[in-house]
Amino acid sequence: MRILVVGSGGREHALGWALAQSDTALCFAPGNAGTAALGRNVAIGATDIPALAAFVRQESMDLTVVGPEIPLVAGIADAFAAARLPVMGPTAAASEIEGSKAFAKSFMARRGIPTADFRVFTADTYDAARQYVQDQGAPIVIKASGLAAGKGAIVCTTEEEALAALERTLQARDFGDAGAEVVVEAYMEGEEASVFAFTDGDDYVCLSPAQDHKRIGEHDTGPNTGGMGAYAPAPVVDAALLQRVRADIIEPTLEGLASEGRLYRGCLYVGLMVTGDGPKVVEFNCRLGDPEAQVVLPLLDVDAAELMLAVTDGRLGRLRVDLASDAALCVVLASRGYPGPYTRGYAISGLEAASEEALVFHAGTAHNDKGEAVTAGGRVLGVTGRGPTLEAALAKAYAAANCITFEGAVMRRDIGQKGLERMKL
């Protein structure tokens, strides 16, 4: 099967790795230094939908798998469907569940899906937003409604922080157009987790529940990032809780979207807060998470290409999908300065030794004119260990990560500790 993977990050390398376990010929647009070892990188940007469609027709690709959210929200699935080109990913209308947090929150309110109380504001209602924050008090959460690369949610512990976050988002426009409107929502106390459902619009299957680590610093300190590590399965989501997530969140979401003319086909990411009142939705995404993809895909015990084609063709109900009983843990190596400014182009060493211990997924990498792998992004690599237990997976991931060096490399040393502590209870 000839497959194009759209994107250039760690998620796309992980998708390529999973697809490469099948009888596939892979291309990546645009890919990175790691995906080049799995197939052919083509110099087409992930948002250049006409060029991607032309390439798929020219190369007679059997399937396109879209990794990042931006082309999905922009309508790549709609354009490909109109051209009769098979694509795995939701339509623009369905992808609005990530593209607009304001839409997602209003949708959840209409459908009775558990989430935090909220209000939506724009620059025109800036004074009302300030008054609402002052009335509600802190802690409180300010979220840019649009796409902000995972960095648009600001958890504010004081009223002053919240008012500053409103000013940054609505007035200074630190998040650009993504901050044209904001969601101000109640702070939820609990433990976060992620559940992923592959769905063809009628049937769905859940992958291993995962837990991401969003903050740059250990013990969840510092600013939010795209994710500094993840592990699966996350023990906070046991079988009973997962059943509640399925019944109270996933099924009414898929049914509600379909009833509103937004049939969802692809991967639905449910970001959860496990509270004392049960699971509540923090956010929805219209694709696999990153770095969660790097831990949930290695635990799939099914032909990944067949799974994704079944999602696309509407025959998921006929496919048996099993999950491995192992655990997987990914630690991200980032560039010094991330999620702020950072320097690119540092040579990376130790990749071969690390690959003997674990899976090394490239995220922000490229090849220099000498053919060496160099840093090319904020999050550079995701190193994934797999083992019979979370403790074993953690040991493999960190042993491999310690083999890798580049100037200014940064990583958290506490990935997975919440899971280990919960398992002792």
Q: What three-state secondary structure class fits 278?
A: strand
Q: Which residues are registered as beta bridge partners of 120?
A: 183
Which pLDDT score, from 0 to 100, does residue 412 have?
A: 98
Cα separations (Å) of 95 from 68, 69, 167?
A: 11, 8, 28
Which pLDDT score, from 0 to 100, does residue 384 have?
A: 98
pLDDT digits (tens, 9 = 90+) for 347-369: 999 999 999 999 999 999 999 99
Which pLDDT score, from 0 to 100, does residue 5 have?
A: 98
DSSP assignments along 87-110, one per residue: EES--HHHHHHHH-HHHHHHHHHH
Task: Give the predicted TM-score (pTM) of the model.
Answer: 0.95
pLDDT digits (tens, 9 = 90+) for 210-262: 999 999 999 999 988 999 999 999 999 999 999 999 999 999 999 999 999 99
Q: Which residues of the chain have pLDDT under 70?
A: none
Which pLDDT score, from 0 to 100, does residue 13 have?
A: 98
Q: What three-state secondary structure class fits 184?
A: strand
Which pLDDT score, from 0 to 100, does residue 400 have?
A: 98
- Residue 195 near residue 242 (C-beta atoms within 8 A): yes
State how far the Cα of 38 lies from the Cα of 22, in Å rounded to an integer.
12
> Ramachandran region of residue 190, left (φ > 0), alpha (ψ -120 to 50) or beta?
left
In a 13 Å sphere around the CA of 379, the CA atoms on its Cβ side amount to: 27
Cα separations (Å) of 410 from 201, 215, 218, 363?
A: 40, 13, 11, 14
**Phi/psi of residue 317, nearest 5 degrees:** -65, -20
- Residue 34 near residue 360 (C-beta atoms within 8 A): yes
Which pLDDT score, from 0 to 100, does residue 424 have?
A: 84
Domains in the chain, CATH or no CATH each: 2-82 (3.40.50.20), 117-186 (3.30.1490.20), 191-323 (3.30.470.20), 327-423 (3.90.600.10)
Which pLDDT score, from 0 to 100, does residue 149 have?
A: 77
